[in-house]
Amino acid sequence: MAKVTAPLFGFSASGKLANSLVYMKWKGINDVRQYVIPANPKTEDQNTQRGYMTSALTAWHAAGFIEADLTAWDRYAGTLSKIMSGFNAFVKKNIEALVASKVFQVLVNADFSSVTTTAGTVVFDIAAEGTTYLHVGTSKTAFPDSYLGVFSTDHVTFTLAGNTASTKYYCYAQNTEGTDIGRTGIYDFITPAA
């Protein structure tokens, strides 16, 4: 039902009138258009893209994210040029991998408990082996140090060196092997005092 704030065709109206007219405000201008049912040709390309989206959504729900993982994805999304949530950033990365015919490896459950003043290890859960690096820096946008991970059964371990005491670090893990690709959001951790 159309809602009119003054006589019809006077000031403004919004909504659908029967199945013939749609009243709306578009870019600040009152507008009326013919009601048209949107086309849905279900082309092969559309179905492929919908499949990518379904796969990405399934991966998000099946990932087993903990609160730190969700915060890391939100922090990563905050560094991107477009405004989006961590969920959107994850879906975007997942779809990019699928379009490139790669398997998106999800890394979750970061463990920073053994990081010490000068060294330590960081562990992520991961489903499959691959060449995975941990990129570390003191800024959310610059990661000058990289550490190669060592895969073992269902997790990957990175051995850090050269930490500074009482310093906040940011990091993300990225898998770049052949048919696999993956990354995490941006985590933060603080090294203990000396």
pLDDT digit of tens for each residue in the chain (194 aa)? Answer: 555 566 555 566 778 878 888 888 877 777 888 888 888 888 999 999 999 999 999 999 999 999 999 999 999 999 999 999 999 999 999 999 999 999 898 999 999 999 988 889 999 998 878 889 999 999 999 999 999 999 988 899 999 998 999 999 999 999 887 788 889 999 999 999 87
* 161 in any annotated domain: yes
* 39 in any annotated domain: no
The pTM (predicted TM-score) of the whole model is 0.79
pLDDT of residue 175: 87
pLDDT of residue 153: 87
Residues 72 and 165 in one domain: yes
CB 51 within 8 A of CB 42: no
Residues 87 and 26 in one domain: no
* 109 in any annotated domain: yes
Round to whole Å and give the CA distance between 55 and 89: 15
pLDDT of residue 9: 58
What is the total count of domains within the chain? 2
Residues 169 and 76 in one domain: yes
Contacts of 123 (CB under 8 A, 6+ apart): 110, 111, 114, 155, 156, 157, 158
Residues 28 and 85 in one domain: no
pLDDT of residue 173: 94
* 162 in any annotated domain: yes
Residues 16 and 104 in one domain: no
Residues 136 and 74 in one domain: yes
With tokens 């997790």, the residue in question is: 155
* 56 in any annotated domain: yes
State the residue range of the domain holding 123.
44-190
